[in-house]
Structure 1
Amino acid sequence: MTTIAYKDGVIAYDSRSTRGTTILDDDTNKLQVVKGVRFLCTGATCDFAALIAAFFGADAPSAVEASALAWDGSALWLVGHDDKTGAWKDSLELDRPYAIGSGSSHALTAMDMDATAVEAIQMAKRRDTCTGGRVRKLVIVRAG
């Protein structure tokens, strides 16, 4: 799992990779760029490709255990999958914070207390065992 937070034009994310309760790596770069869209995924790594393909309109398998924040240069998207509707994506407002992943509640609380997105990930690392390693950031700017 991982934690991804957005606030004030910055998407921050940790670099820990886990399998169950085992830490595999604390220096994984989770940013994937596909067709010019930047994806930061959380959940089952084996499902990331299916989730990204679904963002572009491909049919997703019946079970995808992943979600993502995606930046296409002009809009920030929350991408997910559920049993009822299958794959979906929602455009997000850039004037409010968001967090997804295993430490999202910790990150949201930190941002509610005026933490930046980077600081929110650092706080989530203190309480969520699936969040750790380096904190990276992606600064997003609207095209146009």
Structure 2
Amino acid sequence: MTTIVYRDGVIAYDSQVTRGDVITDDAYEKCIELKGIKFFCSGAVSDHQRLIDVYFGAKAEGSIDASALVVDGESLMHVAVDDDTGLWKTPIRLDRVYAIGSGTPYAFAAMDMGASARKAVEMAAKRDTNTGGTIRAVNIKPVE
């Protein structure tokens, strides 16, 4: 899977892709920008584009094993698709921390101890076998 973290106007994420217990890519770009909207994707790489298509109105067909932190204008949301409700969007408060992916518990613990978004992903990569590679960070709001 992955670890994607939001804290203090920054989204940080890893670049590792795994299939089972094999690392298939350690430099994959998990941020996809389309029509001015940024999608920081977690889950099955093969489902990332399908999730984005559903976000823009395509019909959700079959299982979509992906979720994303989405920056759409001034909004930050956790977005995914499920069989019961279809596309769902959970707003994320910008004054709080948030994490998705397999390294979530480690990232939250790191942020509870004061880690930045980037450092939280680095710490998650130390314990989560599905997090690793290059750690990237994107400022999603101007520094005040």
Q: Do structure 1's residue 2 and structure 2's residue 15 form an aligned pair?
A: no
- Unaligned runs of at least 5 residues, structure 1: none
Match of residue 36 from structure 1: 36
* Runs ≥4 residues deviating over 3 A: none
User: Take 1:112 and 1:54, find their aligned partners in 2: how far apart are those partners?
Assistant: 34
Secondary structure of 1:59 counterpart: coil
Give the residue type in structure 1 aligned to 2:123: M
Conserved? CA contact 1:73–1:141, under 8 Å: no
User: TM-score normalised to the size of structure 2?
Assistant: 0.94
Give the residue type in structure 2 aligned to 1:65: D
1:85-123: CA deviations, max 9, x gaps? Answer: 122112211000000001011101111111111010000
Give the residue type in structure 2 aligned to 1:8: D
User: Take 2:74 and 2:53, find their aligned partners in 1: how far apart are those partners?
Assistant: 19
User: Take 1:60 and 1:113, find their aligned partners in 2: how far apart are those partners?
Assistant: 39
Match of residue 125 from structure 1: 125
- Unaligned runs of at least 5 residues, structure 2: none
Conserved? CA contact 1:55–1:89, under 8 Å: no
| Count of aligned residue pairs for this structure pair | 142
User: Cα offset for 1:83?
Assistant: 2.6
User: Take 1:128 and 1:140, find their aligned partners in 2: how far apart are those partners?
Assistant: 25
Q: Do structure 1's residue 101 and structure 2's residue 101 form an aligned pair?
A: yes
User: Take 1:92 and 1:59, find their aligned partners in 2: how far apart are those partners?
Assistant: 25
Match of residue 137 from structure 2: 137
User: Take 2:63 and 2:27, find their aligned partners in 1: how far apart are those partners?
Assistant: 28
Match of residue 68 from structure 1: 68
Q: Sequence identity of aligned pairs in percent?
A: 52
The root-mean-square deviation of aligned C-alpha atoms, in Å, is 1.1
Secondary structure of 1:71 counterpart: strand
User: Take 1:23 and 1:13, find their aligned partners in 2: how far apart are those partners?
Assistant: 16
